[in-house]
Amino acid sequence: MEKFKQQKIILSLIIRKPISFLSLIIVLGFIVVGLTAPILVPYPEDAWGLTYNVEKRFQPPSIEHPFGTDALGRDVFSRILLGSSFSLMIAVGVIGLALFIGIPIGVIAGYYGGRVGTLLMRITDMFLAFPPLLLAIVLAATLGRGLLNLIIALAISWWPWYARLVYVQTNTVKNMPYVDAAKIAGLPNIKIISKHVIPNALTPTIVQAALDMGSAILEAAGLSFIGVGVKPPTPEWGLLVSEGWQSINYAWWIAFFPGLAILITVVGFNLLADAFRESADPRLRRTILMRLGVKQ
């Protein structure tokens, strides 16, 4: 009951502020578009990059082609729309895989501690010694271009962060009285972990991860731009921008709109993350309501 009330309060706070509400719309909109784009896209062959149309090259934005056409005569709008599906796939794939690797490592290291824990954390630290994207670049360069390789490369550079987060949380939770109580009651470790440790230690990490999806999209786009991401003709947003680079002087729309799509989506996630953090912090909540003009 306590938890639901908490979530309701947080949600209501998010909705009350116009900017947070907007961010919620953007994120939900992105998810909806990403899921339905393969079906609803206006020019499917263009979107999937299956055809090209020499007469329609470099057409500026018009009614039939709201974002114009690119160097191969393809409708940019359709490609961007389908690109959202790929971004969604990448975001979910990267974060999901990173959690899949990071959470077990973090939980085991945090709960059992000792030599195993130290070893696991040392390995994690080794990965963390790399600048954030660099590991992904090396991996992507080694594995070759492609959607799956991109997801794997990014996931491998992301998981240490989650492992560390989960490790710290697990450590804290491990020392909580209710865990001691469970141990005294004779619960086997596995049960303790699944019933007590995991829900309490993981919630902040999972929340953080969901909101990290925006950053995953941004990084994937960056990698695709410098040529170690997806393969053409995949309509991934970063790749679309690089495709428009050549012709940017006379056909600016090809590079402009995909980048704008990235910007809006990531802004949505970041604003939502901010709004969430503010609403979840009780001290900040008080001042938000003060500002919204609670009756005095």
Residues of this chain that interact with another protein (CB under 8 A) are 9, 19, 125-127, 129-135, 137-139, 141-143, 214, 218, 221-222, 225-228, 238, 241-242, 245, 248-249, 252, 255-256, 258-259, 262-263, 266-267, 269-271, 274, 282-283, 285-287, 289-291, 294, 296
Nearer to another protein, 23 or 197 (CB): 23
d(CA 216, CA 210): 10
To another protein, the closest distance from the beta carbon of 256 in angstroms equals: 7
Which DSSP state fits 133? T
| Token reading at 255 | 């590079």
CB of 142 to another protein, least distance (A): 6
Judged by beta carbon, residue 175 or residue 296, the one nearer another protein is 296
Q: Sort 293 into a burial class: Cβ within 10 Å, 0-12 / 13-18 / 19+.
A: exposed
Tell me if the bond preceding 132 is cis, omega within 30° of 0. no
Please say which residue, 142 or 194, places its beta carbon nearer to another protein.
Answer: 142
- CB-wise, 43 or 162, nearer to another protein? 162
CB of 135 to another protein, least distance (A): 8
Kindly tell me which of 151 and 202 has the beta carbon lying closer to another protein. Answer: 151
Nearest approach, Cβ of residue 267 and another protein (Å): 4
Maximum separation of any 2 CA atoms in the chain, in Å: 77
- Given a contact cutoff of 8 angstroms between Cβ atoms, the answer to whether 155 and 98 are in contact is yes
Among 236, 237, 231, smallest CA distance to 261 is for 237
> CB 260 → another protein: shortest distance, Å?
8
Provide the minimum distance between the beta carbon of 72 and another protein in the complex, in angstroms, as a whole number: 19
- The pair of structure tokens assigned to 294 is 């609670």
Cβ pair 236, 230 in contact under 8 A: yes
Spatial CA neighbour of 246 closest among 72, 52, 47, 46: 72
Q: Which is nearer to another protein, 106 or 268 (CB)?
A: 268
